[in-house]
C-alpha cells in the first residue's frame, strides 16, 4: 500500500516547547518571554486546539521580519486602583502581556477578592484557555476576553467588521470534578480552523463561512476571502461586539474593525484584552465552593443522554482528555506542517524539530 501523502508525525511536548523557545530566542525574544509564548502554543496543541498552536509560529515570525511586531518589547503594568491595573503590550507578543495581566489580576484577587486588568497595544495571544488555566491553576475563577481583526459581519451586515474574538472563562474544580473552562469563538467555528484546513488541504463544513459572493463554501481559501458566520445569528454577532467593548473601547486599543490581523503584515495588531480574576470563597467557604462545583459537574455529566450520545462532557473536558493522551503519546502534526516549521528553523539557524520514533 502507498504511504499517505501527508503522514502524521508525533512530537513530544517538551521537544515542541524547546523548538519554539529556540526559534523565538533566535528572533530576538527574551529568555523570559520565549517560554511564556511557547507554553501558550504548546498547550493549544496538547489540548487539540491545533488552530492556535505551534503552527502559528511562521506567521508570528513573518510579523517580526516585516517590522510590525517588536520581539524585544516588554509589557509594562500600571496600577489604576487597588483592584484595577492596565498593561501596555508595547506591540510585543500578546502572550507575555496576557501572562503579566492575568498574573496581576490574580494577585489583586488574592488580597481584595477581585482583580481586573485591561491590556492595550498587544497582539494575538493564541488560545484563550491557557490564560484561563493560569487562573484555574492558581485557584481562581476568571474571565478572559480579547478583540481581534475583522472577520465576521454584524447581524444583517454583509462585510467583515467584528473579530472572531473568543469569549473565555473558567472556575476551579472540587475533588470530584473537572475545572470549568469555556473557550469559544462567537462564530460557528474559529477562523484558525480554516487556516488549519488550508494547511492540511482539507475541506471545511459548508456552514462555517460564506465566500466573497455571499455563498456557502467548503473551500478554506474561498472562505478566507469571504466572511465567517456568527453562531446563533444576532447572538453571536452581539458577543463579538461585547468582546470589542470590553477589550477595545475600554482599553484604549484599536476597536470597531481597526485591529490588524495576525496574517496582515501591513501594520501592528493593536489588539486589546480584558481579564478578571475572582476568589472562589467570597460568598461561600472554599470547601462549600468546591463541593458545589462537584455537584454541578456530576449533574451535568450525569444528565440523561439523548439517543446516540455516548458521554456528556463538561466545558473544557474534551480538551483536558486530549491533553492527558498527548502528554503520553506526543502531539500529532502532518508532514507539511513539520516541513514548514523546519524551513523557518533553517532560516534562523535553529536545529530541526525532534520527532518521536515511529
Ligand atoms: N486569539 C484570538 O484572536 C482567537 C480568535 C478566535 C479563536 N481563538 C481560539 O480558537 C479556539 C477554538 O475556538 P472554537 O470556538 O472553535 O472552539 P470549539 O468550538 O472547539 O469549543 C468551544 C467550547 O465548547 C466546548 N465543547 C466543544 N465540544 C463539546 C462537547 N461535545 N461537549 C461539551 N463541551 C464541548 C469546548 O470545551 C469549548 O469550551 C479557542 O481556543 C479560542 O480561544 C482565538
Q: Does residue 71 contact residue 93 with C-beta atoms inside 8 Å?
A: yes
Farthest-apart Cα atoms in the chain, separation: 67
Work out the pLDDT band at 1, boundaries 50, 70, 90.
low
Whether 283 and 135 have beta carbons less than 8 Å apart is answered as: no
d(CA 68, CA 63): 5
pLDDT, one tens digit per residue, over 226-275 is 999 999 989 999 999 999 999 999 999 999 999 999 999 999 999 999 99
Question: What is d(CA 127, CA 196) in angstroms, rounded to the nearest whole number?
Answer: 14
pTM: 0.95
* φ, ψ of residue 297 in degrees (nearest 5): -55, -50
Helices (H), 48-148: 57-65, 94-112, 129-137
> What are the chain's domains?
73-187+230-321 (3.30.1370.60)
Q: What is the pLDDT of residues 287-305, one digit of tens each?
A: 999 999 999 999 999 999 9
What lies within 8 Å, CB to CB, of 343 at 6+ separation is none
State the chain's mean pLDDT as an integer: 96
The answer to whether residues 91 and 166 touch, using CB atoms and an 8 Å cutoff, is: no
| Model pLDDT for residues 301-334, shown as the tens digit of each residue | 999 999 999 999 999 999 999 999 999 999 999 9
Tell which atom from ligand 1 comes closest to the C-alpha of 187: 15
Task: Flag whether pLDDT at 103 surpasses 70.
Answer: yes
CA of 248 to the centre of ligand 1 (A): 21
Predicted pLDDT at 158? 85
pLDDT band at 2; cut points 50, 70, 90: low
The pLDDT, as a whole number, for residue 216 is 92
How far does the centroid of ligand 1 lie from the alpha carbon of residue 285, in Å? Answer: 31
**Is-contact 100 77, C-beta < 8 A?**
yes
Going by CA atoms, what residue is nearest to atom 41 of ligand 1? 127
Kindly give the distance from the C-alpha atom of residue 183 to the centroid of ligand 1, in angstroms, as a whole number.
5
Amino acid at each position: 500500500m502507498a504511504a499517505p501523502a501527508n503522514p502524521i508525525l508525533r512530537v513530544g511536548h517538551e521537544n515542541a516547547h524547546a523548538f519554539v523557545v529556540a526559534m523565538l530566542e533566535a528572533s530576538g525574544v527574551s529568555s523570559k518571554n520565549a517560554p511564556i509564548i511557547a507554553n501558550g502554543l504548546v498547550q493549544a496543541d496538547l489540548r487539540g486546539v491545533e488552530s492556535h498552536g505551534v503552527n502559528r509560529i511562521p506567521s508570528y515570525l513573518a510579523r517580526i521580519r516585516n517590522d510590525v511586531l517588536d520581539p524585544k518589547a516588554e509589557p509594562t503594568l500600571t496600577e489604576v486602583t487597588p483592584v484595577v491595573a492596565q498593561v501596555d503590550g508595547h506591540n510585543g507578543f500578546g502572550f507575555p502581556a496576557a501572562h503579566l495581566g492575568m498574573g496581576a489580576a490574580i494577585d489583586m484577587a488574592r488580597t481584595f477578592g477581585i482583580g481586573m486588568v485591561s491590556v492595550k497595544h498587544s497582539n494575538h495571544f493564541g488560545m484563550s484557555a491557557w490564560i484561563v488555566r493560569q487562573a484555574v491553576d492558581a485557584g481562581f475563577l476568571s474571565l478572559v476576553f480579547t478583540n481581534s481583526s475583522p472577520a465576521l459581519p454584524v447581524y444583517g451586515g454583509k462585510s467583515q467588521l467584528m473579530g472572531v474574538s473568543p469569549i473565555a472563562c473558567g472556575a476551579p474544580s472540587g475533588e470530584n470534578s473537572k475545572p470549568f473552562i469555556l473557550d469559544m469563538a462567537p462564530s460557528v467555528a474559529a477562523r484558525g480552523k480554516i487556516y488549519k484546513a488550508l494547511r492540511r488541504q482539507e475541506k471545511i463544513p459548508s456552514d462555517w463561512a460564506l465566500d466573497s459572493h455571499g455563498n456557502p463554501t467548503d473551500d478554506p481559501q474561498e472562505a478566507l476571502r469571504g466572511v465567517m458566520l456568527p453562531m446563533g445569528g444576532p447572538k453571536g454577532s452581539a458577543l463579538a461586539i461585547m468582546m470589542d467593548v470590553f477589550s477595545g473601547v475600554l482599553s484604549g486599543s484599536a476597536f470597531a474593525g481597526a485591529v490588524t490581523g495576525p496574517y496582515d503584515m501591513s501594520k501592528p495588531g493593536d489588539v486589546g484584552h480584558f481579564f478578571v480574576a475572582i476568589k472562589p470563597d467570597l460568598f461561600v467557604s472554599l470547601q462549600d465552593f468546591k463541593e458545589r462545583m462537584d455537584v454541578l459537574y456530576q449533574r451535568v455529566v450525569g444528565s440523561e443522554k439523548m439517543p446516540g450520545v455516548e458521554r456528556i462532557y463538561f466545558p473544557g473536558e474534551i480538551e483536558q482528555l486530549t491533553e492527558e493522551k498527548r502528554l503520553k503519546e506526543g502531539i500529532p502534526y502532518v508532514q507539511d506542517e513539520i516541513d514548514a516549521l523546519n524551513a523557518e528553523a533553517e532560516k534562523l539557524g535553529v536545529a530541526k524539530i525532534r520527532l518521536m520514533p515511529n
